[in-house]
Chains A and B, each alone.
Chain A
Amino acid sequence: MSAKNAARRLEMYSKLVLCRAFEDKISELAAERGRLPGMQILATGQEAVAVGVVQALSPEDVVVSNHRSHAHLLARGAEPGLLMAEIMGKAAGINKGKSGTLHMAAPELNVLMTSTVVGAGPPLAAGAAFALQYAGKEALAAVFFGDGAAAEGSVHEAMNLAALWRLPVLFICENNRWAGAQGLAEHCPVESLSQRAAAYAMIGETVDGNDADRVFARARTLAEACRLGRGPALLEARTYRMRGHGEYDRQHYVPKDEIERWRALDPVEAYGRRLTEEGLLSADQDRAVRGQARARVLEAVAFAEQAPYPAPNQALEDLWA
């Protein structure tokens, strides 16, 4: 293992830990009345998909995200304070309080668009990929969508178009086994969503979405193919939605043993263990990584809480270019 690889993997671990700490804090704040407006939809348990895929992207690659976006944004390097302020609806938020938690976009980081309309991401990504192809760039558009979203017609239309025009789209299906309160078997006739790729004559693969190394490796290979003009690819990452659909969801419909089974496969803990076993992460380093993440999150909360709300009539701004 080269030193470069070791550094990259430690970076991935720090990001996993940061994503988890950030969302654990949101979950804590959401439980206190009045501290966070609106619904809080967390990617707890799915961090290795976000971190592994984003690590495989280059800065020119474009990311399109969905309602479960925090980890995508943090993995791409978004400032936790700007996200937290946005989630609280503050003027200092990454989108001036116009988005809130559900639609945060950071075009400065090439997280170009986020839509909470399920299934909207893939066609948007096809458009972004077309622009990259049009400009002759060796870059791609990576779009995250869920197993539930795979049932929307828009996803199929986007895949067909992308395959037909060989658009550089990396479709990442985060199969967390739930769409709201509907389990995979209740909303999807196939167990493996990567099978769908065959219908559009594109590459399709399934990867263990709780293994950051494997996600990274497969995403890097597929991304390379996309960039070289081989057309789109579909990567299904099998993972699990550990905290329910949103913070108001008590998971009353989820079998208890299922949650327990997946808790044992926690992607953040698993990665820490692996790096420790490989001698890349000492106990002291691990404490430092976790301590730094906690400190950044506390700083983010402090920044966001003292930040003012936007003026009410600034609601009238930002509609038109």
Chain B
Amino acid sequence: MNRSLFMGGIPGTMSRRGFLRACAIATAAMGLPMEMVPKVAEAASDPKRPSVVWLQFQECTGCSESLLRASHPDVATLILDLISLDYHETLSAAAGKQAEENLEKAIERGNYVLVVEGGIPLKDGGVYCKIAGKTAVEILKRAAEKALAIISIGTCASFGGIQAAKPNPTGAVGVSDIIKDKPIINVPGCPPNPENFLSTVLYFLTFKKLPPTDKFGRPLFAYGRKIHDHCERRPHFDEGRYAEQFGDVGHRLGFCLYKVGCKGPETYSNCPVIRFNDVEVWPVSVGNGCYGCTEPNFWDTMTPFHKRLPNVKIPGAGEGIQASAGKIGKAALGVTAAAVAIHAGVGIAKRLATGSKSEE
């Protein structure tokens, strides 16, 4: 993809201005006031800031891929300026034995944030995912020992993800199911929005602690609101205007995707606001319902993806509020007309009977 199309003037290597801009965007995403921008910038450029060790287990690299698509800040500058990445299997120049040594050195140095991508299989001694002869569990436990904090990026590292879907043949679990004695934060999504990951890192660098989370360990600033409650198609939902199937008139008119399976009513994330890839899109904006990918076990609970969620009340007695109010209005108008007709009829009948005009 020719990314320069979408770069909007953001330089490949980061200028001071671009750097501040990135900090400002992350600060806004965290829901912090703009007065915090200098603090965030200071923390991000502090020479003593922690480095990052990035482990990959049962995963598709989609989370890293999505990070590579982030251009605020662009990944190069993210690595060089914002976080110093000591170890990342896909991105590091080193390979094989050399890469393993880098990891070991980084762990020994300490003072790092551990980022985990992918689920960890536990069944049969964890044999289903091995790197350099060591199982994923072993590597994770070793790297977690000296980590300041752990960020689980993506739904796999957070909750087990697709390999944990029934019947979970490898016994895959998320990081927080294994590591209990470290601060852990989950940034789920398939993939998660890079903006939310970067903001979480910057929050940690700035405040030396992880941001407040919900009961699933997700940062509230990013996962605190239901998609459905700030979706741009919501007015269509309330008015009972739906795409009944893909490609129909309603779909082409941009109506609500609930009936073609949108899981927005049960999914918490800021996708409608932050959007993706700097081209301001997210699934619903391009005509596909939300799959609920930030929720635990969404492969089990949110499938079939294109069937509507049960038990969601459509407002206005199931017809949409404007349509049903219009119906009631017409009925009320009919009743009024009848009442007026009766009134007039009685008046005329009285006049005929008594021959007088008085109605007292």
Report whether chain A binds chain B.
no
Instruction: Identify the B interface with A (CB < 8 A).
Output: none
Instruction: Identify the A interface with B (CB < 8 A).
Output: none
